[in-house]
Amino acid sequence: MLHGRDSLVRLIGKRRRTFSSPLAQHLRPQSAAKRRPSPSSVEDEAPPPKQESQIHGAERVSCPVCGSSIRGTDYSVNSHLDTCLARGVKRKLTQSTLLQFKFCPRSRSESSLVDLDNDKEKARKRGSTNESDPSNFPLSSRYGSTRMSERMQCASASPYHSLSSSETCTDASLEGLVIEDAVISKVKDPLYSHMFRQSVKTQIPKLDTCGPGDAKYVEILETFIVGCRFHDNAELRQGASIFLLRDPQNSKDRHAIKVLSADFDGRVLGYLPRELAKYLSPLIDNHHIKCEGSVTSLPRHPYDVIPIQLVCQMAENSDMKSDDCQILKSLWESVLLAVEYGRANHPSMTKYQRNFCLMIEDVMNHYAYLFTDKEKSFLGVFNSLSDDGQRLFIRLYTRKGPWFRMSNVSYPEISDPLQAAEELQLAGYLFLFNSCEDPFTYDMKEVLNLLNVYEIREILKQVPPKKAINCTRRPELINVLYSAYENEICPLLPKVVFERVGTCVRISSAADIFLWRVQRLFFLSGEQDLSSFLLVDLGLVKFPDYACNISHQVFAGRDDLLEYEEAIEVAQVMDEYLDANNMDMVIRCIDVSDSHIQASLMEDTRSSILDSPPTFFSCFSASWVYSKVLTLGISVFEHKHRYEDAIRLLKGLLNRITCDSRRGYWTLRLSVDLEHIGRLNESLSVAEEGILDSWVRAGSKVALQRRVLRLGKPPRRWKMPSYADYVKQKIKEVYIRGRPLVCETGTKNLFYGYDGELCGVEQLALQYYAGEGGWLGVHSESGIWMTFFGILMWDVIFSNIPDVFRSRFQTAPLDLDTDDFYVARKSLIESHLQKIHDGMADEILITSWGLHFGTACRGVKWERHSLSDLRAAVSCIGGRRLAALFRHLSLDYRSWSSGMPDLLLWRFHGDMGRGQAKLVEVKGPRDRLSEQQRAWMLILLDCGFDAEICKVSPNPSSP
């Protein structure tokens, strides 16, 4: 694996289907097939104009309601009429008006947003939209314009930062309801609490007295049944009677309340919402509340929630104490708040649908300044789509694609996928076609991937020359068919293929570009996507609790964001060309990155600017991404023995990027490559200068020191460096004999263990130490130490520091890998390390384990180590050594988070329970210490650890 490839792949994350920058489009691999160009803005998304012979008379017509010019297709007309009626435009549609209205054949091309803008302008002139409210987007659902405000309430006061009036996305209040922030947190999921800064207020009936008179207190609650279950012999009907039954044995929620049908022998219809059940269940358990009700209306879809009405009556209890009365009043107020919260956040939306909307809302609240007005309008259209439209788009967006056959698109929560697809096409979110006569550009390779093996074989029978096909695998069959298309053997092949695939859709270019940007801004990471929501909803991942204290913007402006995105695209193109082994295009990507680095000023001048952004934001700059591309490019040139080119890139990076922990790697590679081409004096000088560089650390520094000692012998250098004794100090070595399975060079080292079973060198060493000294231990390399650091330093890692936490899906602060981590928390870190030094590590470990077990934290492997093993290891290591080790990790986590010895061993002595710990690096017959491992061994010896090297050999010899 080339050095830097893994890092670049993590940076890229999910590969983009559509590129927005002209540079990346030019670099990206092109096939002989026709490709649809990738637009860089919403304005470019409109399809190219058609000739008269192509549109089949699909001229534009005037809407009889608003007068807008629209396409004369049946679907466009009907959808536009529904939109106008939903806006409440008071113009009567007469029969003669409709009869005189011109309809035209259906158009299957993508819709342009120009029509949407015209609609918006017309509506503004008629006073149907509020110009001060940017959330009134041009396209409304056929269910009414209030649907958007029911779904997505933007924050009136952002918890992150203040936006200007033109940037803040506000919505009309929900029927005048306002829930205060201080109390709504009682009924919200903490994970999404920063997204739900709603302004909803309700009148809460006060229970001023508790006594026999309260038995007459009756309250009617309007709520929903979730998790509905339908039975063939228990058909749901409006007005059906229901009653409640507690389900304390429910494995997912001990507060669960079942909703049963009173008309069908008590069959279960579903459950009350979790937020409501949390506060209503203790009232039911203590017989304070009796609830019955009825179904108020039927759901549109079988999987939607069922609206119900509950009549709650207070039970008489004359013996209630004053404290119990206060608890009752508090619980009842929480019940009412939960009911209003449910009304404000309609639970009919599916989980993934709500999560997707929350992501868009959060980004538009906090990064609105990075989007143009047209882009905001385009993203805002999504809020006004029907439930089916939203769900279909999200389903398709999370699939690989790019094309999808509508015959294969079927989801139980979507009642009419084709109608939803047509709605999405009208909104510009999907591109739909169902005939080869549609004039559009395409990549035939992508279309062929929609066919199954049987269909490909049937088509091949019609393609001349009609010979027997020997291949059987689908990719091979597709290549045969694609070759026939490229060579134009069969001119009718596209028509035959399109008739086979039928109606197909794909995500539009504009939607793909903007949703990729939204997702990137929300997570600030290419490794995370919408699956993070799913993992939380399923309870598979729990993210830590921390404060998102925002004081600076990640991107200073839109230009910075676009440059960063372009750099990400270039990195993806290079990764694709490496997969294709196209070295000419890889070198082009390297040259493009090098030219951008040369054109940018990499000197860190932000420290001289008042209230400048934190330095760890540099990883969200285009220059930082290009430097990663060049780092990978250096490995590519070295792999091809093009050392002159590698030296040129290394010198450029070192001259321009003066503050970066990667300078150690770059300096070491420069010295090594100079030696490769015989420039030994220059290689020695580079190594000597690198040792004095404060950014050269850990293994790179030790490697450079060893190079100086090797290259700097007389007559090049006469004086021995001061660090010579430190680098040359002897590390204890232990030799053990192992009986290998095979002795061939290049094969994995497998040995017969002391128990007769096959094992690796590390397991063999563990057995040796267990037999020789009674040692207990684990083979985890750096894993157990990162676990120690995460658990014992939890309060430090997740402390309230500005700008280090930007979303609720982080497992570590953004500055953990930088020097800013220690600088921003110096007093807190030193205070915490002093506690560990003084012997409180075991107490901190127990407390942190109990509070945070199972919570995701970078480096922590909860399931790999038991608490008893961790406590035993901590006791044997000792507080002084732990504190010294953690100080190194706090100062430079990036440099010291890898390369630790393979084994951590511990044992106890005598009745006093004194412990002893040992760290062992295990090496097979042909292995040797890396420079990073050597640096760790030297650090461990400085910290007072007992560290040694265990060498396994078939024929051990004494040192």
pLDDT digits (tens, 9 = 90+) for 92-130: 333 333 333 444 433 333 333 334 344 444 444 444 333
Q: Per DSSP, what are the bridge partners of residue 905?
A: 777, 918
pLDDT digits (tens, 9 = 90+) for 183-234: 333 334 434 443 333 333 333 344 444 443 344 567 888 888 887 654 444 5
pLDDT at 39 exceeding the cut of 60: no
pLDDT at 131 exceeding the cut of 70: no
Exposed, middle or buried: residue 869 (CB in 10 Å: 0-12, 13-18, 19+)? middle
C-alpha to C-alpha distance for 684 and 681, rounded to whole angstroms: 5
- Confidence grade of residue 900 (pLDDT, cut at 50, 70, 90): very high
Q: In terms of Cα–Cα distance, which of 157, 533, 580, 146 is closest to 365? A: 157
Per-residue pLDDT at 918: 94
* CB distance 513 to 335 below 8 Å: no
C-alpha distances (whole Å) from 17 to each of 112, 408, 576 are 20, 21, 12
CA-based angle 562:563:568, to the nearest 5?
95
Per-residue pLDDT at 801: 95
Which of 21-35, 171-185, 239-253, 563-577 reaches the highest mean pLDDT?
A: 563-577
Of the two residues 493 and 855, the one the predictor is more confident about is: 855
For CA atoms 359, 365, 368, 370, the dihedral sign is negative
Q: Which of 198-202, 270-274, 561-565, 577-581 has the lowest mean pLDDT?
A: 198-202
Q: Which of 193-202, 371-380, 512-521, 726-735 has the lowest mean pLDDT?
A: 193-202
DSSP state for residue 921 in the 8-state scheme: E
Per-residue pLDDT at 375: 93
pLDDT digits (tens, 9 = 90+) for 611-645: 578 899 999 999 999 999 999 999 999 999 999 99
Per-residue pLDDT at 44: 43
* CB distance 423 to 386 below 8 Å: yes
Per-residue pLDDT at 888: 94
The mean pLDDT value for 839-852 works out to 95
Instruction: State the DSSP string of 245-275.
Output: EE-TT-SS-TT-EEEEETTTTT-EEEE--HH
Structure tokens at 261: 């049908």
Q: What percent of the chain has pLDDT over 70?
A: 73
Mean residue pLDDT of the chain comes to 78
* CB distance 364 to 119 below 8 Å: no
- The total of other beta-carbon atoms located within 10 Å of residue 455's CB is 16
pLDDT at 176 exceeding the cut of 70: no
Per-residue pLDDT at 77: 63
* CB distance 741 to 954 below 8 Å: no
Q: In terms of Cα–Cα distance, which of 769, 777, 742, 771 is closest to 758? A: 742
Per-residue pLDDT at 460: 81
Structure tokens at 504: 């197909």
Of the two residues 755 and 193, the one the predictor is more confident about is: 755
pLDDT digits (tens, 9 = 90+) for 802-813: 999 999 999 999
C-alpha to C-alpha distance for 40 and 62, rounded to whole angstroms: 31
pLDDT at 520 exceeding the cut of 80: yes
Phi/psi at 246 (5° precision): -70, 145
Of the two residues 517 and 342, the one the predictor is more confident about is: 517
The mean pLDDT value for 44-56 works out to 37
pLDDT digits (tens, 9 = 90+) for 434-487: 755 555 567 788 888 888 888 888 888 777 766 666 777 888 888 888 888 877
pLDDT at 45 exceeding the cut of 50: no
Phi/psi at 34 (5° precision): -75, 135
